[in-house]
Amino acid sequence: LGEVSIFETLTDDELKSIIERSQLLSYKKDDVVLFESELGNALYIILDGFVKISRTNEDYKEVILAILAERDFFGEMSVLDGAVRSADAIAISKVHALKIAAEDFLDLLEKNPKISLALLREMVSRLRKTDHQIKSISLSDAIGKVASVILRLANDVGRQRRGRVEIDNFASQQEMANYAATSRETISRVLSMFERDGLIERDMNKIIITDFEAFKQKFS
Ligand code: CMP
């Protein structure tokens, strides 16, 4: 828990008291952790696994806003403003999470200004990513859209090793399409093209960016 960015400044005793007051939950792939438009009174911290944050548009199409991983939190928006949940949060792998009641979290924020600052930093970072996503969604070319979603996944959940970045393929091609606001066929076509050009390699359940810096320069 001490490795969660917003809790980095807490002492061991403070961390212990959070753990004592929180609930440990387990989810299977495809379980819904929270529903858009429901009232919410807790914040969640992912201990392991991946969670997608998504909304459904008026054509019942899924729009993915973010994919969160170990040590990320979600559910803070309703806790902070008392409004309904802004999106669904759905497990896309097995997930273990800690659930912290709103009043406990708000109490922590009041007592630890550093947590508030870390929380603001993380929310700013999400806003920047979302701004970037809006730009890439409005791109008309498919290659740019698919490259943006690969870059975002690399930043959020990729593992860097010697200039390469490995992205576990927990997200299906349909989910990647819903992230990039394009079709599954486009994802499939552009991934094959990137593979042919040596920009990525594919290994059954992984996408590997062969030269992350070069990929970034080419597409951001
Ligand atoms: P809340 O609105 O309580 O419930 C849904 C959660 O999804 C929300 O809090 C945030 O934690 C998370 N969320 C909503 N929009 C985004 C986004 N654009 N990027 C990352 N996380 C988000």
Note the pLDDT tens digit of each residue in 139-163: 778 898 899 989 989 988 889 999 9
Q: Which two tokens stand for residue 67?
A: 């994919």
Cα of 141 vs centre of ligand 1, distance in Å, is: 28
Q: Is the CB of 76 under 6 A from ligand 1?
A: yes
pLDDT higher than threshold 80 for residue 136? no
Residue nearest to atom 6 of ligand 1 (CA): 75
Q: Are the CB atoms for 186 and 192 separated by under 8 Å?
A: no
ipTM of the complex: 0.99
According to DSSP, the residues that pair with 32 across neighbouring strands are 90
Q: In a mutational test of the pocket of ligand 1, which residue from 38, 62, 119, 126 has the highest number of ligand atoms less than 8 Å from its CB?
A: 126
Q: In a mutational test of the pocket of ligand 1, which residue from 63, 77, 135, 136 has the highest number of ligand atoms less than 8 Å from its CB?
A: 77
Q: Is the CB of 33 under 6 A from ligand 1?
A: no
Cα of 159 vs centre of ligand 1, distance in Å, is: 23
Which pLDDT score, from 0 to 100, does residue 134 have? 82
Closest by Cα among 37, 158, 22 to 97: 22
- Is the alpha carbon torsion for 139, 180, 78, 156 positive or negative? negative
Closest atom, ligand 1, to C-alpha of 87: 5
Q: Is 154 exposed, middle or buried (0-12, 13-18, 19+ CB in 10 A)?
A: buried
Q: Is the CB of 133 under 6 A from ligand 1?
A: no
pLDDT digits (tens, 9 = 90+) for 26-73: 999 999 999 999 999 999 999 999 999 999 887 788 889 999 999 899
According to DSSP, the residues that pair with 168 across neighbouring strands are 206
Closest atom, ligand 1, to C-alpha of 127: 18
pLDDT digits (tens, 9 = 90+) for 167-196: 987 778 888 899 888 899 999 999 999 999
Mean pLDDT of the chain: 90
**122 — phi, psi (to 5°)?**
-65, -40
Q: Are the CB atoms for 50 and 40 separated by under 8 Å?
A: no
For range 103-125, the mean pLDDT = 91
**92 — phi, psi (to 5°)?**
-115, 15
Pick left, alpha or beta for residue 81 (phi over 0 → left; psi -120 to 50 → alpha; otherwise beta). alpha
For range 86-104, the mean pLDDT = 95
Cα of 185 vs centre of ligand 1, distance in Å, is: 28
Instruction: Supply the pTM of this predicted model.
Output: 0.83
Give the C-alpha separation, 108 to 77, whole Å: 16
Residue 138 — pLDDT band, cuts 50, 70, 90?
confident
Cα of 76 vs centre of ligand 1, distance in Å, is: 7
